[in-house]
Structure 1
Amino acid sequence: MNWNDIRIFLALARTGAVRAAGHRLGISHSTVLRRLEALEADLGVRLFDRTPEGYVLTAAGRDVLSEAKTVADHMGAIERQLVGRDDRLEGDIKVTMPDGLALHLLMEPLTRFMEDHPAINIEIDLTYDALDLSRREADVALRFLRAGKLPPPHLVGRKAAEVHSCIYACSGYQDRAGRDGMRWIGWQDDEPYPPWVQESAFPDIPVRGRLNNLMLQRAAAEAGLGLAYLPCFVGDPSPLLCRMVPDSTHSFDLWVLCHPDLREARRHRLFRGHIHKSLRPHIDLLEGRLPYGSKPEADGVQGPGPVSAVRA
């Protein structure tokens, strides 16, 4: 049994899907299948049942899981300690962040960082999942945490910004749909009236569409599918969206985090500082304060559209 096979086993146990495990590890799904088959042949047991719902651990797989996690913890600690002592401005930095943050605010700064430091390679995983920094699924994590919530105690970092959100719809949506025809765009597991809807200015409007991706939600709202509760840095720059209420809500805090073992690694420290510096010009946009018609100097993003008139 080799370390790479253990990593594949753990990723598949966590995700329950071959493609998702491959994506997490940066390898093809065919490699995941091939290495899993080799591992099961080597051990002489079946580790997973293949079901319509995905890959489910067998009894033997559950027995292996706890030992595999122990091995992964030890290997992760060795890797972190070695990388943490590396003073070179070269090598890989694995970064995880939400898609909207990368697409709206950070692609230009990421490009500039790689141009300034050609020996450093940035690997970006766009996800809302909390990847395991202890096992080096990522080196740096940009995470949205609920407003006022602190990061896990085993991670270190700084809050980069407060993130405000607001209710958005395309211009004229309420006039076309009428109060009885309005609907919320929800997330995949939302009930018809989830708590965040009940606490909003439109508590009696049901969730009808469910899209588990922030950028798809914005596109759906722009197309007139319904109301969307979006971060202001996603909703305000859209020329097709209007705020349905004037005031935004402090919904999340944006943190830049790493494992303590990597805190002093030179290239990682440089990268985290670059991210903080790159976000400063966008603070007003992140916190929902960008005046109508203004444009952030960093990238020329259009400011928020007009506030729609809301009728009870």
Structure 2
Amino acid sequence: MQYEINHNDLSLVLALVRGRSLARAAELLQVDISTVFRSIRRLESALGNALFEKSRRGYVPTDAAQAIAEQAERAEQALGAARMALRQGEQVVSGTVRLTCTEAVLHSLMLPALARFMPNYPALNLELATSNNFANLSRRDADIALRLTDTPPEHLVGRHLGDTAYVICGRPDFRQALEKEPTSVPWVAPDDSMPDHVSVIWRERTWPSIVPRYRCSSMSAVSELVSAGLGVAALTDFTARDLQGVEALSAPLEGCNTGVWLLTRPDCRALRSVQTLFDELTPLLREALQ
């Protein structure tokens, strides 16, 4: 009969993965070193798999040990949430919510908002993923998405948080050259992986003769190059505000205003954890967009 691991096995593997030594694992488990050594040898024998490799770096976990440790951490979090629920009653908000947005939106909008209220929900866990694809929600890889769009998919539900404008921004020393001859300054732009990005469409329509000197695979990278003084780019107004030493070098670009949406799947609306995040994020993100 195949051996079935138990809670003690999970705790043992997690302690050794975290500690990387018998001594540290013993300290975490509050047992002696010999107990950890015997227990891990016994577990490896029962499973028929090596869980750790001994090296100069200590006990290095195998893929099997890493997989067990990941499940052990989830069990640890669930146990912690259950204990907190007993202490605080039914009002505690717990669980794990998977949230997705682009890197640029994560740094400029999402993280500042999360920092203001997440400490109030110690039993609520977030998994953050940066992606441009609505398909994340469709495939159930995420529960909530913060997206810049004027046409959110009909199969998703959510809240319109406001609109953002695009401006040309860069270091102040580019201003004079930009006003005199836009093609004379180095431009930073999305690469061919984002042909439908609003800034690309605007540039090709307004100044088709401009050939960007730098092309990036994400808008976060575009903003980093602009911040480093390498050139100018069309960026959202909230991104431009966050870049040190960078100024808006133009008025809002015509035809580039874009809606900002907080979205989820219909089946997620009833989840207390998802509803809590919607209620907390909505006023903070609307404030940031003003």
Normalising by structure 1, report the TM-score.
Answer: 0.56
CA distance in 1, matches of 2:225, 2:93: 42
| Stretch of structure 1 that moved more, 239-248 or 153-162 | 239-248
CA distance in 1, matches of 2:116, 2:265: 25
Q: What is the aligned-residue identity percentage?
A: 26
| Corresponding residue of 1:139 | 143
Q: Which runs of 5+ in 2 are unaligned?
A: 1-61, 68-90
CA distance in 1, matches of 2:200, 2:102: 22
Residue 241 (structure 1) aligned with residue 243 (structure 2)? no
1:230 pairs, out of 220, 235, 255, with: 235
Max Rg structure:
2
Alignment check: 8 A CA contact 2:108 2:242 kept: no
Residue 255 (structure 1) aligned with residue 254 (structure 2)? no
Measure how far apart 1:263 and its partner are. Answer: 0.8
The residue type paired with residue 238 of structure 2 is F
The residue type paired with residue 183 of structure 1 is P
Deviations 1:238-295 (A, max 9, x none): 34223232234543211111111111111111111111021132232xxxxxxxxxxx
The residue type paired with residue 165 of structure 1 is Y
Deviations 1:123-182 (A, max 9, x none): 11122222432432001111111x3x2x21211111111111111121112557984532
| Corresponding residue of 1:204 | 209
| Secondary structure of the corresponding residue to residue 221 of structure 2 | helix
The residue type paired with residue 272 of structure 2 is R
Q: What is the aligned residue count?
A: 199
1:214 pairs, out of 211, 219, 226, with: 219
1:106 pairs, out of 107, 110, 128, with: 110
Give the aligned CA root-mean-square deviation in angstroms.
3.1
1:185 pairs, out of 185, 188, 193, with: 188
Residue 168 (structure 1) aligned with residue 175 (structure 2)? no
C-alpha spacing 1:174/1:124, structure 2 compared with 1 (3 Å): same
Q: Which runs of 5+ in 1 are unaligned?
A: 1-29, 36-86, 285-312
| Corresponding residue of 1:63 | none
Normalising by structure 2, report the TM-score.
Answer: 0.60
| Corresponding residue of 1:265 | 271
C-alpha spacing 1:94/1:208, structure 2 compared with 1 (3 Å): same
C-alpha spacing 1:172/1:122, structure 2 compared with 1 (3 Å): same
CA distance in 2, matches of 1:108, 1:175: 33
C-alpha spacing 1:218/1:156, structure 2 compared with 1 (3 Å): same
